[in-house]
Amino acid sequence: MFKERGYEAATFREIAQSAGLSTGAVFVTFTDKLELFDTVMSAEAKHQLEAMTTAGRDVAGTREQLVRVLAAGYEHQSKQGDLARWAKAVSWSHGLSGQNGAPPVRQGVIRLIQQILDDGETQGDTELLAEMIWNCFTQTYRYVVFDDRSLPWATARLEQQINLLLSCRDPRVVDDAA
């Protein structure tokens, strides 16, 4: 129902009816619609992270692995149709579980990105770099969801962003000559 009607329009009654349950049975498990949506999105986040992890296996090179993993994330989200759009909207207006209302997939993907960076012996603060790459990933996907940009455009744009970020020096090093 969330995918078909969107978060705001889907009602508990419709959700229960489509699941073959009474409204009361749904309320026994979930206190409100946001909790139910959060559960749906958390399950979806696990599937997305699995798809991204699988896509990164047997790929040589840090840059290539990052692009392949994150492109798999875009591909997975695009298959969700309007559910991805609603998840973005709800995460901004109501929040979803996770750190500070972040989408549930955030921590897992940032850990995956950081592991790729660490395995590739990337210099500098890989925790910060992983977070910056995550921010590029999510912001670029917003163009797909809200501005009708294509997945190939998003992947190419993200690859440019990754190349730029990986080409930067360690921000902890101060250039005395500057």
What confidence score (pLDDT) does residue 57 get? Answer: 92
Is pTM, for the whole model, over 0.85?
A: no
What confidence score (pLDDT) does residue 176 get? Answer: 41
pLDDT band at 158 (very low <50, low <70, confident <90, very high): very high
Residue 2: inside a domain, yes or no?
Answer: no
The b/e string for 54-82 (b: 16+ C-beta within 10 A; e otherwise) is ebbeeeeebbebbbbbbbbbbebbeebee
Our count of domains for the chain comes to 1
Q: In CATH, what number is assigned to the domain containing residue 52?
A: 1.10.357.10
Neighbours of 174 (CB within 10 A): 7
**Stretch 99-107: mean pLDDT:** 60
Domain that holds residue 62: 32-167
pLDDT tens digit sequence for 50-95? 999 999 999 999 999 999 999 999 998 888 877 776 776 666 555 5
| Closest listed residue to residue 80, CA positions, set 32, 113, 47, 50 | 47
* Backbone dihedral region for residue 32 (phi beyond 0: left; psi -120 to 50: alpha; all else: beta): beta
Q: What is the distance between the alpha carbons of residues 177 and 119, in angstroms, rounded to a whole number?
A: 32
Residue 152: inside a domain, yes or no?
Answer: yes
Q: What is the distance between the alpha carbons of residues 105 and 30, in angstroms, rounded to a whole number?
A: 21
What confidence score (pLDDT) does residue 173 get? Answer: 46
Residue 3: inside a domain, yes or no?
Answer: no
